[in-house]
Amino acid sequence: MEIKRLTCIECPRGCSLVVTVENGIATDVKGNFCPRGKKYAESEVVNPVRILTTTVRASDGRMVSVKTDAPISKNLLFEAMERLKGVNCSVPIKTGDIVVENFYDGVNVISTCNVE
């Protein structure tokens, strides 16, 4: 049995969570104010995931803010950044446009800004 302490990132409240982990599974979560905190803690100890937010270069040299449209495994973040280094997108581009389709298992990289 292992005890892990986490700060929930599901909302601005930032609950301090105490998670009991047995055989790689969260068996008990304490300190969460809402059900989202429990779900976050259970996921975080088994397979932590994050939305990746970064920039890619546009065809005219400007930088375009992008993010994944769904979370990817936290252990893939550095690999994902390396993969995005060589990506160039065409302008104009609008918020929500797909920059890289099916980046990881159906997760797309989308623009988070308009660039004319």
pLDDT tens for 65-76 read 999 999 999 999
Condensed to tens digits (0 to 9), the pLDDT of residues 21-66 reads 999 899 999 999 999 999 999 999 999 999 999 999 998 999 999 9
Over 90: is that where the pLDDT of 88 sits?
yes
Query: What average pLDDT is seen over the chain?
Result: 95
**What confidence tier does 80 reach under pLDDT thresholds 50, 70, 90?**
very high
Could you please state the CATH topology (level 3) that the domain comprising 53-111 is classified under: CPE0013-like fold (3.10.530)
Q: What does the pLDDT read at residue 24?
A: 87
The half-sphere exposure of 78 on its side-chain side, counting CA atoms within 13 A, is: 1
> Residue 33: which of 20, 18, 15 has the closest Cα?
15
- Ordered by start, the domain boundaries in the chain are 2-46, 53-111
